Amino acid sequence: MITFEQVSKRYGERLGLDSVSWHMDEGECVVFVGHNGAGKTSLLRLITQEIQPTSGTVTVGTFRTGHVSRSQRALLRRTLGIVYEDFRLLHDRSVFENVALAVRIAGRFSDEEVIPRVMYALEEVGLQLKQAAFPHELSAGERQRAAIARAIVNRPAVILADEPTGALESRYAAEVIALLKRIHDEGAALLLVTTRQQVADAIGGRCMHLDDGRLREQAEVLRLMGLPPAAEPEPAPALAAPATEA
């Protein structure tokens, strides 16, 4: 479904990704862990075709870098649902209107098409009673659930989650992790990037580590640290709140 073949990305003299190769199958769950600046955002932007690789090839479904027109790029993005750390909701529109906008951008405009899709997505994330609320009237966890509803409303093949718990307290973070796991269990592929190993452990799936643009799978990281292979994961404890600066 998604394949990187010897992909490098340079920003002037800075190397964002260095000869990265990996593959993700349909319906798989993959988590990338890395510090800020490790290359996680570059990886996501290459998948969405917002940027192009300096060298190497990125393939997403039938779309391959260097062979994607502007109209094809729009089609590609309709197969992806994106969840951002900062939610990116329109503050002058209700929850319903934020989610409905994604349906209309995909080319569906009649109420007969829009309303059932939006309501189903809101029910999936438990916000059907908040459809008329505006983002400033929601908790941070509810805003992220609204953003997830927007991401899943068109039933994309892949959900891309960019640090989805980074702005949340531990209780809300645990709710979002549980929701993303359920969406994946229902059939969508899930690719999540995070700075926190605890989030990766809670999500499960295949874990890879980005370090200054270079890729290591978790088994290799454990080997380099002199640690035994990871055991089968047990139910994850509640997530701790991200540390805040004084």
DSSP 109: -
Separation CA 82–CA 44 (nearest Å): 10
Separation CA 164–CA 66 (nearest Å): 30
The pLDDT tens digits of the residues spanning 84-135 come to: 999 999 999 999 999 999 999 888 778 888 999 999 999 999 999 999 999 9
Entry pTM: 0.84
Sign of CA dihedral 9, 23, 148, 164: negative
3-class DSSP assignment, residue 187: coil
Does the structure show a pLDDT above 50 at 246? no
Q: Write the DSSP assignment of 21-78 as a string of letters.
A: EEEE-TT-EEEEEE-TTSSHHHHHHHHTTSS--SEEEEEETTEETTS--HHHHHHHHH
Contact 21, 7 (CB under 8 A): yes
Of 154, 173, 168, 13, nearest to 75 (Cα)? 154
The pLDDT tens digits of the residues spanning 185-225 come to: 999 999 999 999 999 999 999 999 999 999 987 566 556 55
Place of tokens 């718990």: 165
The tokens describing 149, both together, are 């509803």
The distance of Cα 22 from the centroid of its chain, to the nearest Å, equals 17
